[in-house]
Amino acid sequence: MGVPLLDLKAHHEPLHQEIMAALEQTFRSQAFILGPEVCKLEERVATYCQAKYGVGVSSGTDALLLALMALGIGPGDEVITTPYSFFATAGAVARLGAKPVFVDIDPTSYNLDPAKIEHARTSKTKAIIPVHLYGQCAAMGPIMELAKRHNLSVIEDAAQAIGADYRDGRRACSMGTVGCLSFFPSKNLGCLGDGGMAITNDPDLAERMRILRVHGSKPKYYHKLIGGNFRLDTIQAAVLNVKLNYLDQWTKRRQENATHYETLFQQSGLVQTGNVSLPKPVYRNSGVTHYHIYNQFILRVKRRDDLVAYLKQKGVGVEIYYPVPFHLQECFRSLGHKNGDFPESERAANVTIAIPIYPELTTAQQTDVVEAIAAFYR
Ligand SMILES: *Cc1c(COP(=O)(O)O)cnc(C)c1O
């Protein structure tokens, strides 16, 4: 049997010639750093996200770092974020000498619980980083309201949520001060390596990020700021300019797969016995509105670790995103947290699994996944 968690071969095969032509063209031009291909992608992705400016960068991690640097976040500052995300979210804050201040998640959405933010705010708080985890927007309404009231910047970590709509139809990256995307191959829009983008509606912030992206240099060799090398490769932009044309159709396939899983899991009886709990999207997708773009399809399951071992042995691709919340990570020990500080994040870390949801997944493969899970509980 065997169903991978992600099938990049199946994903890229139909685009083989188109991608090769883009690579060939870049190679012929011998212009590998920034340039028109990157500018074109920046405009297209910003527009796709319903925002004005895009700054192509070397990774999603560097988009977060660059955004925080451009906002002047540093030692003595506090940044409120979730303890339940990919490491880069909190890592970027700590790398700048600022303090990540964690706020627990809402167990239904796996995103920051907005009701708990106010309590974590101090006079040192400078920014909030909501993560749109798994492909669904965090509660941006209440988060933006609180941020405006206290003059805080908001950095949307949209690495898993390109094109996801919030409840009012606004898209990820268009609501906060700046939004950060990743083009890592496993994201909904992935390149052939590392890449990312910072998105904003603020022209001054966009300009500052552009300058910081090239070591703070403007004009060349004159440095008003200390930046880094955060550039997006031209060759990756060329590939992404091809792949972006297909993003909506891939998103649609992911959503159809999610709907089909719901049917299969209901039919299997796994939901009724309580062995498996399905994701509960905060809002339902409709034809024109993508409330959830399913970068991951997450189940809560009984006897999680045994199930994962069983599925791996059966060749079913599963992953635990993420087994250790930030507050329990060794590198953040100095923050002084302990087990029990963020119970919903800890519970999510202990009972969830991600199963295959990629666009090329077939209904037969979905049946295999659900049957393998059912076999484990029999
Ligand atoms: C992938 C990811 C990142 C980092 O992106 P990279 O391109 O891998 O550096 C940051 N935040 C979240 C939530 C992610 O999923």
Residue 109: strand, helix, or coil: coil
Q: Tell me the CA–centroid distance for residue 265 and ligand 1, in Å.
A: 29
Q: Pull the structure tokens for residue 186.
A: 């496993």
Q: How do residues 135-152 score in pLDDT, each as one tens digit?
A: 999 999 999 999 999 999
Q: Tell me the CA–centroid distance for residue 273 and ligand 1, in Å.
A: 35
Length of the chain: 378
- The CATH classification number of 247-377 equals 3.90.1150.10
* Residue 14 backbone dihedrals phi, psi, to 5 degrees: -65, -20
Instruction: Identify the bridge partners of residue 353 per DSSP, sorted by sequence position.
Output: 299
Amino acid at 315: G
Residue 3: strand, helix, or coil: strand
Residue 120 confidence (pLDDT): 98
Q: Tell me the CA–centroid distance for residue 376 and ligand 1, in Å.
A: 32
Q: How do residues 197-223 score in pLDDT, each as one tens digit?
A: 999 999 999 999 999 999 999 999 999
Domain boundaries, the chain: 8-103+110-245, 247-377
Our mutation pick for probing the ligand 1 site, out of 62, 64, 79, 89, counting the most ligand atoms within 8 A of Cβ, is 89
Q: Averaged over 8-37, what is the pLDDT?
A: 97
Q: H or E segment at 337?
A: none
Our mutation pick for probing the ligand 1 site, out of 68, 86, 180, counting the most ligand atoms within 8 A of Cβ, is 86
Q: How do residues 229-257 score in pLDDT, each as one tens digit?
A: 999 999 999 999 999 999 999 999 999 99
- The CATH classification number of 8-103+110-245 equals 3.40.640.10
CB contact at 8 A, 106 and 142: no
Lowest mean pLDDT among 119-128, 209-218, 276-285: 276-285
**pLDDT bucket at 45, cuts 50 / 70 / 90:** very high
Q: How do residues 308-361 score in pLDDT, each as one tens digit?
A: 999 999 999 999 999 999 999 999 999 999 999 999 999 999 999 999 999 999
Our mutation pick for probing the ligand 1 site, out of 6, 68, 131, 160, counting the most ligand atoms within 8 A of Cβ, is 160
Ligand 1: residues whose CB is within 6 Å?
59-61, 85-86, 88-89, 131, 157, 159-160, 182, 184, 194, 196
Q: Pull the structure tokens for residue 240.
A: 């992404």
Q: Averaged over 176-192, what is the pLDDT?
A: 98
Global pTM value: 0.98
Report the alpha-carbon distance of residue 166 to residue 158 in Å, rounded: 12
| Minimal-distance CA residue to ligand 1 atom 1 | 159
